[in-house]
Structure 1
């Protein structure tokens, strides 16, 4: 199995409730019988070829890589919960009978929180079913979600428990400018994280990046084009799981404040100085100019295989590893709070949503927006227009009410 060695998450709400339920008789399941021939090989019962253990490990590796890392983590956690529930109830999770899966989904759908509201959204429960299906598929078993008992159950849950999708507010240009003005980039050691956060905000907004795309960038993915500004190669994204990659460009900005190439160069200068000594980094931060463009300065030479956006410690030290998508989310929340916006309404997606919203306001077409966002369908882009600018291109404004 790809996801062996799973540890049950006993603090999960489903498992807390499940431990209170009486155990049902454990049904017998056929399973797959294996037989060891020697220490270095294994053969499946009834199979003809003898597969070396080393080959099986490589097969397992490539099967694991068929899923994105975030997807693997999600599937592992959701499978943990299901197997824990099955253990308490006395059921075998693999293969799982369709009625057992339907009972699990129903049980999750009926759980209430402390306020008496449904604990789980239908979309969450649907994701759990996808993970159960995935684990059965990887084991060479039929997907229980395709059985009518399970399919009808999940459709009924989604129909009865439908709720509005909670979307983050877009960070518009005016809010972006105010946020950037409030970032300290010239004092020590606060200026170090200030330069990093400014790069996150300007590049994240101008490139309409997803948080995972920003966090995964390496120095070799970004370059300065003398005419176009930043060229950024996105090696893999949510809509490009096979890693074909695509190029984003962010032009030189009219103001040094919102110029993404300037923020990129200033952060590179900090990275280069930090690689030498703490004193060099302090001097670079204190001498940085926020009123003049930095985008025409020479680009410091650094190892292109190193991460672009990195954790910064309170003493200004820069770590040599990638930040996570959660850091991008925290940066947006923390910075907008300084301009009296409610951080609960904002997050990493606010940069992407802000780009789309401002682009629509400027008269950009769906295709032009999709060139930067990487969306596959105009329908997805249209969601931003309906949610944020419901009166744009709406016939109701012509009625003279």
Structure 2
């Protein structure tokens, strides 16, 4: 084969997709590269386990159709460079089967309902926040304490756009109060450590700052993990013995509150507060760079996916067809 033959083959191989499709694949591939860079992993060829981990993570944030684009982009890039396609491996296939089984055609597994401000208010209103009667037993006291904790989890999680793991690991020493509200330092994040600002809310009943302080005061928390288990005995672990709750507990708190508020519990998950913050913020006119910073996204395209969802009825062109 001559040099001219090789050049012609390369040129045509690079035109194996329409320009619009290539742009989509290149964008998806860039996100995969970022994921690999964060883990110090090789992208070409990518290992099967790495691809499975990436798709599992993406399934918590994007729809089933986007996952399929991710797979196509990874396959395309490997084929272009003559590398073995990791998406054909049995491990990746099992992950994709799991995503398909737990996804709806409309929304996807990870693309749970965005819990907006009206939903958050309803979830808080559904909590049993009433003071226990005088002489109430441990179970009633525990129920009240748990409601105070859960209100703080919901409001702080929503206002801070936290990932559920970040929310579960907040410590007293990470919190700094100021005249406008509070700042919370996030030392362990998927990208870089960041500090999240949360303002006082206009309404005291739905204020994340006041709710958090109401919980810590009631639970006598002065240091260590903020969010702790509330046993039936109502005896919350002291500071020197306390362990943080898990991301699973955060998910259960959000799901239970959503169900009590009349929302579909199958459509709400731990990611719903974070998705809701970004969606509501976009609907209310928050700029992309501010949303990106609040969420701790390394790539603006990740944040843009939320904004696109929120603005779809404003940006679609069906109104321009003259129907």
8 A Cα contact 1:357 1:384, kept in partner: yes
SS of residue in 1 equivalent to 2:236: coil
Q: Deviations over 1:254-308 (max 9, x none)?
A: 0012111111110111121xx7xxxxxxxxxxxxxxxxxxxxxxxxxx23xx111
Residue 197 of structure 2, aligned match among 237, 249, 258: 249
> Could you give the per-residue CA deviations for residues 136-190 of structure 1, whole angstroms, max 9, x where no partner exists?
xxxxxxxxxx9934547359x77x9896642111111101101111112223231
Query: Is 1:224 aligned to 2:177, yes or no?
Result: yes
CA distance 1:195–1:150, shift in 2 (3 Å) = same
Native 8 Å contact 1:235 1:246 kept in 2: yes
Cα distance in 2 for residues equivalent to 1:236 and 1:199: 20
Q: How big is the shift at 1:389? A: 4.2
What is the CA-CA distance between 1:337 and the residue it aligns to? Answer: 0.4
Shift of the 377–318 alpha-carbon distance from structure 1 to 2, 3 Å rule, reads: same
Q: Out of 200, 203, 208, which is 1:260 matched to?
A: 208
8 A Cα contact 1:385 1:392, kept in partner: no
The 3 A distance-change label for structure 1 pair 365 and 353 is same
Greater relative contact order structure (CA < 8 Å, 6+ sep): 2
SS in 2 for 1:257: helix
Counterpart Cα distance in 2 of 1:269 and 1:324: 21
Q: How does 1:321-340 map to 2 (within 5 A)?
A: 321-340=243-262
Query: How far has the Cα of 1:193 moved from its partner?
Result: 0.3
Q: CA deviation at 1:326?
A: 0.5
TM-score normalized by structure 2? 0.64
Asked if the contact 2:282/2:310 (under 8 Å) is kept, the reply is no
Change (3 A) 1:388 1:315: farther
SS in 1 for 2:184: strand
- Secondary structure in 2 aligned to 1:310? coil
Q: 1:239 aligns with which of 191, 202, 205?
A: 191
2:83 paired residue among 141, 144, 148: 148
CA contact (8 A) 1:195 1:266 kept: yes
Other-structure match for 2:284: 362
| Corresponding position of 2:227 | 309
Q: How many residues align?
A: 231
* Matching residue of 2:122: 178
Aligned residue for 2:177, secondary structure, equals strand
Mind listing any 5+ residue stretches in structure 2 that lack a counterpart?
1-37, 40-44, 52-66, 72-80, 133-140
Report the equivalent of 1:397: 319
After TM superposition, list the pairs within 5 Å mapping 1:26-65 onto structure 2. none
CA distance in 2, matches of 1:196, 1:385: 30
Separation (CA, whole Å) in 2 of partners of 1:174 and 1:251: 18
Looking at structure 2, the residues matched to 222 and 326 of structure 1 have their Cα atoms a distance apart, in angstroms, of 23
**CA deviation digits over 1:170-226, x for unaligned, max 9?**
111101101111112223231100111011000000000000101111110012112
| In 2: Cα distance, 1:152 partner to 1:223 partner | 45
> How far apart, CA to CA, are the structure 2 residues paired with 1:258 and 1:400?
44
Q: Computing the radius of gyration over CA atoms, which structure comes out larger, 1 or 2?
A: 1
Displacement of 1:388: 4.6
Aligned-residue CA RMSD (Å): 3.3
Once the 2 structures are TM-superposed, how far is the Cα of residue 249 of structure 1 from its aligned partner? 0.6
The residue matched to 1:193 in structure 2 has which SS?
helix
Residue 108 of structure 1 corresponds to none
* Distance in 2 of aligned mates of 1:398 and 1:147: 44
Cα pair 2:279 2:309 within 8 Å, conserved: no
TM-score (norm 1): 0.52
2:87 and 2:262 map into 1 onto residues whose CA distance is: 46
Residue 175 to residue 318, structure 1, CA distance change in 2 (3 Å) = same
> Distance between the aligned counterparts of 1:396 and 1:209, measured in 2?
35
Report if aligned partners of 2:166, 2:186 keep a CA contact under 8 Å in 1: yes
